[in-house]
Structure 1
Amino acid sequence: MSVKLSEMYEYMKMGRENALLGNYDTSLVYYQGLQQQIQRLIANVKDPERKRKWIEAREMINQEYEQVKEISQTLASFLTDKPRAFNAHVEDFGSPFGDNARHEEPTRDPDVWPPPTPVEHRPSPNLRGGVRPGPRKAEPVRSRNQPAPSKPGAAGGDRRRAAPGYGNVDRGRERPSEKGKEKKKPDDGEKKFDGMGYDKDLVEGLERDIVQKNPNIRWDQVADLVEAKKLLQEAVVLPLIIPDFFKGIRRPWRGVLMVGPPGTGKTMLAKAVATECGTTFFNVSSATLSSKYHGESEKLVRLLFEMARFYAPSTIFIDEIDSICSKRGSDSEHEASRRVKAELLVQMDGVAGTGEDEGEPKIVMVLAATNFPWDLDEALRRRLEKRIYIPLPTAEGREELLKINLREVELARDVNLTSVAQELDGYSGADITNVCRDAAMMSFRRRIIGLTPEQVRNIPKEELQMPPTMEDFKEAIKKVNKSVSQADLEKYQNWMKEFGSV
């Protein structure tokens, strides 16, 4: 642990020193290394109080990192936008130093300057197409203070010599914006998706609505579900730790489908994957990929996967995927819905293997959840290679869920969570949460019976926060019924026997 702390201290020291010296790109690298070290440390710490302090430290480091990143992006924008604005000013209003500052071409009459139009639009490919070495550009500058040539042929010869250099200047000024866009992509210090070819509003909408860098849900906040956690760690965590091993036939799973009754923790598992693995989390629903304009929904699907590959390693979580990709070929299916499904299937098949030109595969995993697996399209079911069942919590899982939900609530001495968990057999995780909420409110309800709002406002805080008793839990269990029937459970089990792939 001491070695890790010394490394973290060194990373923080070097990151801050480089930021103060103006080496922002180097500083960002040290900050990223420090964030990874803190994330690993938090994953291994068991003491809740100590873990809370490390999480606070991580938030402070993240704030410093964002400030340095913002400064770096601002400086980068100055480097690309300032020359472009200056060139636009010169083109629109002329050089402030006169046309001779732009055109170094000798003229026939030293008292008359040539018009700029013939020089800007030279039609001859021989004059503009020639590629001259860099030092030739300075050649016309030396001729500025020399007298005009007396021989008629000399002017023409000098003009021909200067024209290629001038053509190079024109080309550099005509395309500054294009070069700026090309250079923005590989900038390591600025991880910003370039939505060339897409509507700017679509890109900004996806980044604003569905990109989550840190959903802040950890493995210990998800009770039970040991097998599901193991599979997700194998699919996402291990390929990030040892990428050299997960190649070829051992390549990571590109699609995982979580099947189970409502309220069993499917969405919580997906958020825990993004938090613990440090991946970019895309939370997608049917509303995210729908649009009233013809053909725009398919563009959104393609843009989503391109953004996921850009921000890789990333996780695309599609909740209630049956609403997006149900079985094709039904009479009630709309043509637009069929096109969206087709684009989704194509993009899912093309996720793996991208980025191989850069020597580093892009890890993008599609994580889907559904309560109606029997409604899914067959082609989508094939692409979701791992299909796991998220069952109702076991007795141990129910007790763990009670502890997680009541960790901030003081309980009465007569409360036995083990016996409460036994009475909650058949309840889902969401049902158990509702029981805990109802039991925690019982003492408050008894205290305010018959009181006016003004009297309730004057009640001391100690009297309001009375600990719930065992009787409160029994009363809450009577009020909150199960949300999943036995017939539903049998339906899920039969589907898993036929199509499951744990």
Structure 2
Amino acid sequence: MASFSNKVQTYPYYIKYVKDLATAKNTLSEAITIDSNHEDTVHRREAILRYKTAISQFQSCQRISLAGRIPQAEKETYESTKAAVERYIKNTSERVRYLVSKITPPPIKPIAASTTSSNKSGLLKGVEPKYGEMLLDTVLENTNTKFDDVNGNECAKRALEEAVIFPFLNPTIFTGLRNPTSGLLLFGPPGNGKTMLAKAVATESKCTFFNISAADLTDKFFGVSEKLIASLFTIARNAQPSIIFIDEIDSILTERSNSDSDVGRRIKTQFLIQLDGCATQSTDRILVMGATNRPFDLDEGVLRRFPKRIFIDLPDENARMQCIRKVLEKHNTPSSLTASDLKGIARATTNYTNADLTSLCAEASMVPLRSITRDKITKISPKQIRPLNINDFSEALKAIRPSNNSENLQKLLEFARKSGQISENSLSARS
């Protein structure tokens, strides 16, 4: 134990590198699991998002300066790891491009593909073309997502209506003390629809929606990340009313520390500068929305600029029932489940996220196939597979368990009570 303590004190940068690398590998592993087990569009989008997050995390590892900061015994391992990280980034980027090409029709239409040259020129006014073109693919004309598509979190929806949608629909009455916020943070356990809520806000408020990941804003070349961030805010101003949504915002705006790389510090500084300036005029209608599973890791300066912080909770019993019903309907999966059956499943899935419930339905759909032999599986049609029943879900519950970490959930609740907005009827707070 004393030896480990001494190592931490002597090589803090290397310890951070090892921890960050493990996090990146874990994210990549999660993406590969989703990618390998599913071929539907919903899961492919989820895999793409996690792949992009992994790329950003690997690039953050590359930016940690370790010259003279590595234990002698670890130098050879570090050199081989550097090469492996390069391969991870290259192979993962190729996989993302492949998956994107396979999503047809595209879930949302990039504005760059449909706008005229004059419209593009207007969006890119004051922006260096090479950076602007890179960012136009993140601009989404219409997300087609509405609040009704998101299960549960009714209090969060009402808060978003009041804070975002109403001011965008009628800005004339939202002035002075009612002046809308320019920064809003959605936080809570993963897999509960934070991204869908952000898209629904854009649809309901008729805003141009920028869907940004950390990978879109980070680049290993000097000065490029800062220019991308500045270009993003300029395009958003040209396209207003607009919403900039940054998923996994904690991956680029964590609390500042001595172990930060120069690039990381510059990215945070540039982002804060742009956030301060995105509503310099009373007529500006730009909102920056961030989503995170770890709000307590964000830099204090970042939190100050997101004064509205809304907790996106685990689904309650009624929301879980709705989620299961919608998943089965969406995938045209026949079932003999009664209302009583659905209620029983909902009661048995306390602390399950929406993503967990989707996985549960997928697992249940496999149970009827397990009694079919390999010879027969090639000869039957989908219509010959029996409808799902309550016993299939009982079997699925043995395999699919809640994915959220109780320790992390407790930290989220503490943050929500201290620094955020949480429903009095919060499921997590009651359990």
- TM-score tier after normalising by the smaller chain length: 0.5 to 0.7
Q: Any unmatched runs of 5+ in structure 1?
A: 1-58, 78-183, 185-189
Aligned to 1:121: none
Separation (CA, whole Å) in 2 of partners of 1:196 and 1:228: 36
How far apart, in 2, do the equivalents of 1:416 and 1:229 lie?
28
Structure of greater Rg:
1
Deviations 1:191-218 (CA, angstroms, capped at 9, x unpaired): 643535644221111002x111112222
CA distance in 2, matches of 1:221, 1:315: 19
Question: In structure 2, what is the equivalent of residue 485 of structure 1?
Answer: 405
Counterpart among 165, 173, 179 of residue 251 in structure 1 = 179
CA distance in 1, matches of 2:405, 2:300: 27
Candidates 403, 410, 417, aligned match of 2:334: 410
In structure 2, the residue matched to 1:471 is 391
**Which position in structure 2 is the counterpart of 1:10?**
none
The one of 266, 275, 292 equivalent to 1:339 is 266
User: What is the rounded CA distance, in whole Å, between the counterparts of 1:461 and 1:260 in structure 2?
Assistant: 38
Residues 191, 317 of structure 1: CA spacing in aligned structure 2 closer, same or farther, 3 A cutoff? same
Aligned-pair distance for 1:484? 1.5
How many angstroms apart in 2 are the aligned matches of 1:433 and 1:413?
A: 16
Q: Which residue of 2 aligns with 1:419?
A: 344
Give the AA of the match of 1:450.
Answer: R
Q: Determine the structure 2 residue equivalent to 1:236.
A: 164
Structure-2 separation of matches of 1:191 and 1:286: 24
Q: CA deviation at 1:501?
A: 4.2
Question: Helix, strand or coil for the counterpart of 1:257?
Answer: strand
Q: Tell whether the 8 Å contact from 2:245 to 2:288 is kept in structure 1 after alignment.
A: yes
**Which residue number corresponds to residue 386 of structure 1?**
308
Match of 1:23 in 2: none
1:366 alignment counterpart: 288
- The change in CA–CA distance for 1:311 and 1:194 in structure 2 (over 3 A counts) is closer
Preserved CA contact (<8 Å) 1:282 1:316: yes
Report the CA distance between 1:265 and its aligned residue: 1.4
Of 333-342 and 488-497, more deviation after overlay is shown by 488-497
Aligned-pair CA distance for 1:309: 1.0
Q: Residue 413 of structure 2 aligns to which amino acid in structure 1?
A: Q
Q: Structure 1, residues 281-303: CA drift from partner, whole Å, max 9, x if none? A: 11111110012221111011111
Q: Distance in 2 between matches of 1:469 and 1:336?
A: 54
Task: Go from structure 1 to structure 2 and tell me whether the alpha carbon gap of 1:238 and 1:473 turns closer, same or farther (over 3 Å shift).
Answer: same
TM superposition shift of 1:382: 0.5
TM-score by length of 2: 0.68
Asked if the contact 2:279/2:286 (under 8 Å) is kept, the reply is: yes
Counterpart residue type for residue 304 of structure 1: L
Which residue of structure 2 aligns with residue 169 of structure 1?
Answer: none
1:287 alignment counterpart:
215
1:41-60 equivalent positions in 2, closer than 5 A: none
Partner of 2:191: 263
Q: Which runs of 5+ in 2 are unaligned?
A: 1-104, 423-431
Q: Which residue is equivalent to 2:84?
A: none
1:300-335 Cα distance to aligned partner (Å, 9 max, x none): 11110111111111111111111111111x122011
Specify the code of the residue in structure 2 equivalent to 1:462: K
How far residue 245 of structure 1 moved from its aligned partner, in angstroms, is 0.4
| Cα RMSD (Å) | 2.5
SS in 2 for 1:193: helix
- TM-superposed CA distance for 1:424, in Å, is 0.4
For the residues of structure 2 that align with 1:196 and 1:274, how far apart are their CA atoms?
23
1:155-174 equivalence runs, <5 A: none
Q: Normalised by the size of structure 1, how large is the TM-score?
A: 0.58
1:443 aligns with 2:371: no
Report SS of the residue matched to 1:288.
helix
Tell me the residue number matched to 1:277: 205
Match of 1:212 among 140, 161, 166: 140
1:298 equivalent to 2:298? Answer no
Report if the CA contact (8 A) 1:345-1:380 is conserved.
yes
Contact kept? 1:385, 1:501, Cα under 8 Å:
no
**C-alpha separation in 1, matches of 2:350 and 2:219:** 43
Give how far 1:243 is off.
1.2
Q: For 1:406, what is the secondary structure of its paired residue?
A: helix
Aligned mate of 2:131, from 176, 198, 202? 202
Asked if structure 1 preserves the Cα contact closer than 8 Å seen for 2:275 and 2:305, the reply is yes
2:351 maps to 1:431: no
Please list the CA deviations of residues 99-158 of structure 1 after superposition, one character each: whole Å capped at 9, or x if unmatched: xxxxxxxxxxxxxxxxxxxxxxxxxxxxxxxxxxxxxxxxxxxxxxxxxxxxxxxxxxxx
- Aligned 8 A contact 1:203 1:303 in 2: yes
